[in-house]
């Protein structure tokens, strides 16, 4: 059972926000639902995974095609969404 209020605040970087706004309604809804769930448990191993070679960064798959790349700052309780990208482009800078 998840807590009534989220433990973290989710902040979208401009590129992630731009990508989300450009998605079709169904995909955008799925991404936004995942971002809400992320605020409750950003370290849940069922959903997220540490990225090798990227200090502090994690990823969360959304379906087969999309990934949310983020980092967590536990002190103030903030999740910074770095990017929302299709899997084939997720790790390109």
pTM, to two decimals:
0.83
Neighbouring residues of 52: CB distance < 8 A, sequence distance ≥ 6: none
| CATH placement of domain 9-89 | 3.30.2310.20
| Tokens describing residue 13 | 């970087």
The pLDDT tens digits for 18-58 are 999 999 999 999 999 999 999 998 888 888 898 887 788 99
| Tokens describing residue 90 | 């997720």
Domain boundaries, the chain: 9-89
């Amino acid at each position: 059972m998840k807590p009534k209020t989220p433990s973290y605040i989710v902040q979208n970087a401009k590129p992630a926000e731009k990508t989300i706004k450009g998605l079709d309604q169904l995909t955008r809804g799925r991404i936004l639902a995942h971002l809400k769930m992320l605020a409750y448990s950003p370290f849940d191993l069922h959903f997220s995974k540490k990225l090798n070679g990227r200090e502090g960064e994690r990823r969360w798959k959304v379906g087969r095609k999309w990934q949310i790349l983020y980092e967590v700052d536990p002190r103030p309780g903030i999740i910074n969404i770095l990017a929302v990208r299709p899997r084939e482009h997720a790790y390109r800078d």
